[in-house]
């Protein structure tokens, strides 16, 4: 975001991402605010506001006033305290985000019912562009857009996509169920680390996943360590949100994966998890396509430790999003404890104290065979499970595709209606990658010519009809 300009959408066509902006030049040495529409639909939109202190001194509070036209109302906001009088909405700090040092900023979000954009914007009594005149912003011409993750190029036909058919998901018994309370299975792909393969996730690649692969699910694997989130929390949070929007525009479910691996105890990242999930759940609360995976592969930690972590993170999400499905990682690299010589009985006997949750199971077909399949089937009778990650190759992510074991696994998951995301939708130089090396630099993702052996197998399986029940 260019925070030195006020961004407003032009009145007119409603699309899945911002398509026109008002640009107002801004003098230095003033408090300013930037208003951005981050998502929109036929009856409303979601927006983000960044308040910035462009003065040379610390300010102890801030106030943003937005005037909305008749018929347009704010129905929800976060990271702020909201009040309104007529069509003017006033936003003040939530408490913890009141003080802004010189050059610092605070951010809040809102969901709006109606399509009207703000007619005026004030910050601390002055125009949001930093001038002293509280005038209406002037809408400028629509800028030329390039193909970027924040600008979905296509919107899938309404009523025919996985999200349009199934709507808000929930857990019923041991199954993932749709808006008709019928069990469904979601099938899709996982990204590799966003810090390494960001060039693989763009409009063309997600068009291919939604249209050519006919996938239901896009798992967004955001590493916490290994050069990931901890190095740039705001940057990675924004990247995840952009990919959520791109999946939504194509009617796919988006699984936000807090990809903990090393260290294996998720409690090491407890505060980071609370910060991250508070941000993404607030920002995406109005969406129906978001699933939260709160710890990728716990390892070297007891089930008691994992459960404690989950019971502290889940309430953070629920404070913003009471409806979304949340997936909890399990012991032994999310093997239900099998890789640690244990099993699912400890989870069954001592489940997480929360509702609308599922438990993660991971496997790599060349390494994990009959005993893992047997444990999954035993656990599936008592626990709602989701295979949030699996590979057709060995547990290292490399080696040859084990076609027989992979087929046995996929047949089992289909029979039990357990959803899955394959590792990985990338061109990494390893056997698990769906694309041949160099594909993401070329820009062509559809068809079989760019696929590895693993990618061709998964595309063939995922393309089979879903037949989602609607009655």
Q: How far apart are CA 278 and CA 343, in angstroms?
A: 32
* Helix pair angle (233-249, 270-283), 10° resolution: 40
SS3 track for 357-393: EEEEEEEECCCCCHHHHHHHHHHHCCCCEEEEEEECC
Beta-strand pair 126-127/120-123: antiparallel
147: DSSP letter: -
Question: Could you give the residue ranges of the DSSP H alpha helices within 284-339?
Answer: 303-318, 331-334
Catalytic residue among 31, 293, 389, 430: 389
Q: How far apart are CA 234 and CA 226, in angstroms?
A: 16
Query: Could you count the other beta carbons within 10 Å of the beta carbon of residue 303?
Result: 21
Beta bridge partners of 359: 328, 385
Long-range contacts, 272-275 (Cβ 8 Å, 24+): 272/224, 272/229, 272/230, 272/233, 273/309, 273/313, 273/316, 274/312, 274/313, 274/316, 275/233
389 has catalytic annotation: yes
Q: How far apart are CA 175 and CA 194, in angstroms?
A: 30
Q: What is the CA radius of gyration of the chain?
A: 23
452: DSSP letter: -
Q: Is 57 helix (H, G, I), strand (E, B) or coil?
A: coil
81: Cα within 13 Å, side-chain hemisphere: 10
Q: How far apart are CA 209 and CA 445, in angstroms?
A: 8
Total residue count of the chain as it appears in this document: 471
The reply to whether omega before 263 is within 30° of 0 (cis) is yes
31 has catalytic annotation: no
Catalytic residue among 31, 107, 248, 297: 297
Cα–chain center distance at 297? 18
- Residues with a catalytic annotation lie at 297, 389
């Amino acid at each position: 975001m260019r925070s030195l300009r006020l961004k407003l959408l032009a009145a007119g066509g409603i699309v899945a991402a911002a398509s026109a902006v008002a640009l107002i030049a801004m003098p230095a040495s003033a408090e300013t605010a930037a208003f951005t529409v981050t998502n929109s639909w036929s009856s409303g939109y979601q927006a983000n506001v960044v308040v910035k202190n462009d003065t040379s001194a610390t300010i102890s509070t801030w106030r943003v006033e937005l005037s909305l036209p008749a018929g347009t109302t704010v129905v929800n906001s976060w990271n702020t305290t909201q009040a309104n009088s007529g069509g003017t909405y006033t936003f003040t700090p939530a408490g913890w985000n009141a003080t802004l040092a010189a050059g610092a900023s605070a951010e809040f979000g809102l969901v709006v019912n109606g399509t009207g954009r703000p007619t005026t914007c004030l910050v601390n009594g002055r125009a949001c562009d930093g001038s002293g005149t509280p005038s209406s912003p002037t809408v400028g011409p629509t800028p030329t857009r390039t193909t970027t993750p924040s600008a979905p190029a296509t919107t899938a036909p309404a009523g025919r996509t996985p999200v349009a058919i199934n709507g808000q998901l929930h857990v019923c018994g041991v199954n993932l169920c749709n808006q008709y309370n019928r069990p469904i299975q979601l099938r899709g792909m996982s990204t590799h680390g966003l810090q390494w393969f960001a060039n693989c996730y763009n409009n063309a690649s997600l068009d291919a996943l939604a249209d050519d692969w006919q996938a239901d699910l896009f798992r967004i694997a955001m590493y916490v360590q290994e050069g990931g989130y901890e190095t740039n929390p705001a940057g990675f949070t924004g990247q995840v949100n952009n990919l959520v929007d791109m999946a939504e525009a194509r009617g796919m479910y988006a699984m936000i994966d807090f990809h903990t691996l090393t260290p294996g105890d998720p409690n090491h990242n407890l505060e980071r998890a609370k910060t991250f999930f508070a941000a993404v759940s607030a920002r995406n609360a109005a969406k129906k396509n978001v699933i939260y995976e709160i710890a990728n592969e716990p390892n070297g930690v007891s089930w008691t430790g994992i459960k404690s972590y989950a019971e502290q993170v889940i309430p953070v999400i629920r404070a913003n999003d009471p409806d979304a499905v949340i997936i909890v990682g399990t012991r032994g690299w999310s093997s239900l404890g099998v890789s640690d010589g244990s099993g699912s009985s400890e989870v069954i006997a001592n489940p997480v104290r929360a509702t609308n949750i599922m438990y993660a199971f991971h496997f790599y077909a060349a390494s994990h065979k009959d005993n893992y399949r047997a444990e999954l089937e035993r656990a599936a009778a008592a626990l709602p499970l989701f295979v949030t990650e699996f590979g057709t190759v060995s547990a290292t992510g490399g080696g040859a595709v084990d076609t027989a074991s992979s087929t046995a696994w996929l047949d089992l998951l289909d029979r039990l209606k357990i959803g899955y995301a394959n590792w990985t939708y990338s061109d990494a130089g390893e056997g698990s990658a769906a694309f041949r090396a160099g594909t993401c630099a070329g820009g062509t993702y559809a068809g079989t010519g760019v696929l590895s052996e693993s990618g061709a197998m998964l595309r063939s399986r995922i393309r089979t009809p879903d037949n989602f029940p609607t009655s």
